[in-house]
């Protein structure tokens, strides 16, 4: 598409109007559709390749837009964003709620997946112990439920006053009455869904 062709360029008023445009000094952006990237906010992958959510310099954050990689000429900013994103996503929180030590050892002495004799020696016990010592602890009240990475977890208030996230299969196994009471307290029955019994 030629800028000198008046048929293709609707903005030009004469055939040579583009030649008369004032030249911009170094560092200034001429009056055209060239925008400066302030920073990259997010990244997504589509069928056409990666797209970046761009915060444009001189515009509010509400005017940010998704732009494909091929339309951007800010390699340094993209590399910096990808380096920061790799550093952030490479870390995992050091929290017991994100680990799954409960599956390694069951309460009745067998290791999951092991069909041999129950483990009795300390050498055969798994090295990772659960973060909660269940001796003398019980659930007083279940405060809520959330989906942590992988499974559902109950937010439980324990008898010692602590509040902790416990995987749902542990609560169902060790404290079935409290889990049933929690489900029943959240149960909503609509009269419109049930027909009257005649």
Model pLDDT for residues 118-147, shown as the tens digit of each residue: 444 444 444 444 455 666 788 888 999 888
pTM for the whole structure:
0.33
Count of domains in the chain?
Answer: 2
pLDDT tens readout for residues 9-64? 444 444 444 444 444 444 455 556 778 899 998 888 888 889 999 999 999 988 88
In a domain, 119, yes or no: no
In the predicted model, is pLDDT for residue 194 greater than 80? no
CATH number at residue 161: 2.40.50.40
Q: Which domain holds residue 81?
A: 17-90
The answer to whether the Cα torsion of 171, 173, 178, 180 is positive or negative is positive
- 163-167 vs 152-158, strand pairing mode: antiparallel
In a domain, 123, yes or no: no
Same-domain status, 84 and 29: yes
């Amino acid at each position: 598409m030629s800028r000198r062709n008046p048929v293709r360029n609707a903005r030009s008023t004469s055939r040579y109007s583009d030649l008369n445009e004032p030249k911009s000094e170094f560092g200034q952006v001429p009056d055209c559709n060239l925008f400066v990237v302030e920073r990259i906010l997010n990244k997504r992958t589509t069928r056409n390749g990666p797209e970046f959510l761009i915060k444009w310099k001189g515009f509010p954050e509400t005017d940010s837009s998704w732009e494909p990689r091929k339309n951007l000429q800010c390699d340094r900013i993209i590399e910096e964003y990808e380096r920061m994103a790799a550093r952030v996503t490479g870390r995992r929180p050091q929290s017991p709620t994100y680990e799954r030590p409960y599956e390694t050892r069951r309460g009745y002495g067998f290791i999951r997946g092991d069909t041999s004799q129950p483990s009795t020696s300390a050498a055969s016990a798994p090295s990772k112990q659960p973060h909660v010592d269940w001796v003398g602890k019980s659930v007083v009240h279940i405060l809520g439920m959330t989906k942590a990475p992988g499974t559902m977890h109950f937010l439980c208030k324990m008898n010692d006053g602590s509040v902790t996230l416990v995987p749902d299969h542990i609560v169902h196994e060790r404290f079935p009455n409290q889990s049933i009471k929690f489900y029943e307290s959240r149960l909503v029955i609509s009269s419109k869904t049930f027909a009257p019994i005649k």
